[in-house]
């Protein structure tokens, strides 16, 4: 197999790396210490999964979770129960950031839409507005040619 070589860093390299890590940690602490009062929650509910994203009012993502991320597999990811569990998980993330008021934007036609919104309301978040942003085709795509047999 050969000899294994161990990379040894000099003290200056270690100090530089340590300073970089401390700067990252400090930046994260500053970002999380800023208490954001308002936020937006995007609920994407498809036939296969439910994904919920928490953002600040400008749209910068603070956290996200999905039914698959929580541990549901297969067709169970698209159930209303899974959507409510995802909403509970996103509420915990919102509490960490200190968010009290939220605007909910719902997209998709899955079965988890309603249960996710109900679960958000039950967890004590103050819902300012609920908006449906599901894309709707105005004229649709061109239909297929008539079948000739």
What does the pLDDT read at residue 47? 95
Residue 77 · residue 112 · CB < 8 Å: no
User: What are the residue boundaries of the structural domains of the chain, listed by start?
Assistant: 36-132
Structure tokens at 34: 């800023």
Q: Give, as one character, the DSSP assignment of residue 22.
A: H
pLDDT of residue 42: 98
Query: Could you read off the pLDDT of 57-114 as tens digits, one per residue?
Result: 999 999 999 999 999 999 999 999 999 999 999 999 999 888 999 999 999 999 999 9
Q: What is the pTM of this model?
A: 0.74
* Separation of alpha carbons 58 and 30, rounded Å: 18
pLDDT of residue 87: 96
CATH 3.30.420.80 fits 36-132, yes or no: yes
* Residue 27 confidence (pLDDT): 73
8-54 confidence digits (pLDDT tens): 777 888 788 888 888 877 776 666 556 789 999 999 999 999 999 99
Distance CA 39, CA 104 (A): 9
Quote the CA–CA distance of 40 and 128 in Å, as a whole number: 10
> Are the C-beta atoms of residues 117 and 130 closer than 8 Å to each other?
yes
Report how far residue 118's alpha carbon sits from residue 30's, in angstroms, rounded to the nearest whole number: 32
Predicted pLDDT of residue 84:
96
């Amino acid at each position: 197999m050969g000899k294994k070589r161990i990379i040894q860093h000099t003290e200056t390299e270690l100090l530089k790396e340590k300073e970089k890590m401390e700067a990252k940690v400090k930046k994260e602490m500053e970002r999380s210490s800023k208490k954001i009062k308002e936020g937006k929650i995007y609920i994407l509910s498809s036939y296969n999964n439910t994904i919920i994203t928490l953002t600040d009012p400008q749209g910068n993502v603070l956290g996200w979770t999905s039914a698959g991320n929580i541990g549901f597999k297969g067709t169970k990811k698209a159930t209303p129960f899974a959507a409510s569990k995802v909403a509970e998980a996103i509420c915990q993330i919102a509490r960490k950031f200190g968010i009290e008021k939220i605007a909910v934007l719902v997209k998709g036609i899955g079965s988890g839409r309603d249960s996710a919104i109900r679960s958000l309301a039950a967890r004590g978040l103050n819902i300012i507005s609920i908006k449906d942003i599901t894309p709707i085709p105005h004229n649709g795509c061109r239909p297929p040619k008539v079948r000739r047999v």
